[in-house]
Amino acid sequence: MPLRRWTRGARLAYAMRNPLGGFARVPAAPAVALRDLWSGNAAGGEQLVRNQTLFEGTQRPLIEGEWDNPQWPEAYRRWLQGFTWLQDLRELGAESARIKARTLVAQWMEQTPAERPISDPSITGARLAAWLGCYEFFAASADDSFRQQLMASLIMEARSIMALMPEEAKGWRALTALKGLLAVAVSLPDYPEFLTRYLRLIDSTISQQILPDGGHITRCPEDLLQCVRELAEMLYILQVARVPLPTSVLDAANRSAPALRAMRHGDGGLALFNGSCEQNPQFIEHVLSRASRTRVVAAGLPESGFARLNNGRALLIADAASAAPAGYDGSAHAGMLSFEFSSGRQRLIVNCGSSIQRGWAEALRYPAAHSVLELADLTPMRFDANGGISQKPQVTRQTSVQDGVHCLSMTHDGYKPQGGGLYSRKIYLDKDGTVLQGIEKLEDVSIPVPLCIRFHLHPDVSIEQEEDGYLLHTPEETWFFWSDAHIEIEESVYLGQGKCEATRQFVLTPAQPDQNDEDVHSSPESEPEEDTEFATPPDMPEEQMPVVPEVGSGLLADPSTPKAHGLENTLLPPPPVPQAPSKPPIRWSLSLKNA
């Protein structure tokens, strides 16, 4: 590897030799007619015709011959150089759009090979796939000179991918690079080295990032979507070219598609964990239909570290693992034990999401942007200068089901080195999906530190105060939120749909003890008992509340025993016995009032 890094420049220069000036045969047209699988945005195409670009809601001027600018955001630069916007011009369909596409491709090819920004093979791969996928739209009717230059550029830039891979791209972007190489390989069969190199790299590229349960190594649902999309395009290219399907590609698609379905809420969008946004539900469904013919939803994601509770119309998805391994943790959030909850097509409790803007992107990585416990001035993760994680907490999880009631028990020790203790969260979902309950505890605390538990609400949810709690109104249902803690309503933000929307959040803090109350929890000097029964809200009939069993009763298996009442104990080694007084647990519930 060090030798390859040392010879990188020489390999690139050799790869970018123009085949038109030598003895190599340059075909007049692709041997296989590929078609871009995804629809574009006609409005974006119209902007391009008018020499404007529209990306992530921001309009910028399109300057002739300018393909890179240090002032541009990284995401915009990748989009512009990747030529995926050819879909938008094709969607517009007018002759002016065809001419514009041809003009912009010609401007790119006017750059000398040494001037072209080809240092990132994933961008190059996206560009080659876009050129070939939209070839019939902008190039088939062009003159011979344009088509010869285009075919020569395909050869040179595919060689650059071979020269830079596998060191220069990782994660799902490595699949993008190999997709472009594959597209050129089947379009130019006279150059068999392209297909040979693709087949040599694809197995290891997949095994490095697709986990056994089908999830992605970054633990970001949006990265998983992009991964499934690249696999779907590869399968299409291989099938059109009648090339035998590599087992690794087909197997990865069959594993990752069910995992992606498991990370969707009832509205079809993605859950917001570790840097993901909702994304377009129709696009997600299109990707899934191209990747796999089955509609299987993964029952569990143990390697990915997500817990999924689903009864009736209710769905809860929880982050039940630590950050991704080093090198893949650039998008990791400090949202361990956070969860999102939806009913039908309506999200109720959410995380705040992510952003490509630097300030927002950094702020949204902290616990305050998640529906989880937060300790003032402490952080359960430490982010290094490169955006990775330098301090990763240990996370445990246990799930069980008894009589239809789901139980999820999780802990993390991210605050413990700073004296904040061990955080544990237990969540119960009843068999009908109409009652969600939780117990939040902080154990082995060695320093006095204020705590709060945040529940961010989706912007579509409105709040109405009741005597003993709050009604949450959605377009379809009304839910009742209750807690034995003090509840404050604060402003929040939601960036799940690519824009910043104002919303609200519940902030739970421990209730102040009543001096006249003789309950054991009224004395801060006493250690609270392990009371696993919920206090029933006064206006809620007790028979509607599912019984929260004690440890060892079967629903919440005793972690000290390998099995409890026949249930497999999946809990990792239990945390140490607290040496300092624990804070009293905070209990909350969310129950359906009417639909």
Over residues 521-535, the pLDDT tens digits come to: 333 343 334 444 444
* The pLDDT of residue 572: 43
| Total Cβ atoms within 10 A of residue 367 | 25
In which residue ranges of the chain is pLDDT below 70? 1-6, 22-24, 513-582, 595
Whether residue 351 contacts residue 455, with contact meaning beta carbons closer than 8 Å, is answered with: no
* The pLDDT of residue 7: 78
* The pLDDT of residue 529: 41
* The pLDDT of residue 532: 41
Could you say which DSSP state residue 116 is in?
S
Whether residue 104 contacts residue 81, with contact meaning beta carbons closer than 8 Å, is answered with: no
Alpha-carbon torsion, ordered 438, 443, 449, 454, to 10 deg: -20
* The pLDDT of residue 533: 42
Q: What is the pLDDT of residues 313-340, one digit of tens each?
A: 999 999 999 999 999 999 999 999 999 9
* The pLDDT of residue 570: 37
* The pLDDT of residue 527: 39
* The pLDDT of residue 13: 83
Global pTM reads: 0.87
Q: Which amino acid is at 531?
A: D
Q: Are strands 405-412 and 435-443 parallel, antiparallel or unpaired?
A: unpaired
Distance CA 429, CA 342 (A): 12
| Total Cβ atoms within 10 A of residue 148 | 17
Largest CA distance in the chain: 96
Q: What is the pLDDT of residues 18-76, one digit of tens each?
A: 887 766 688 999 999 999 999 999 999 999 999 999 998 889 999 999 999 999 999 99
Distance CA 51, CA 89 (A): 12
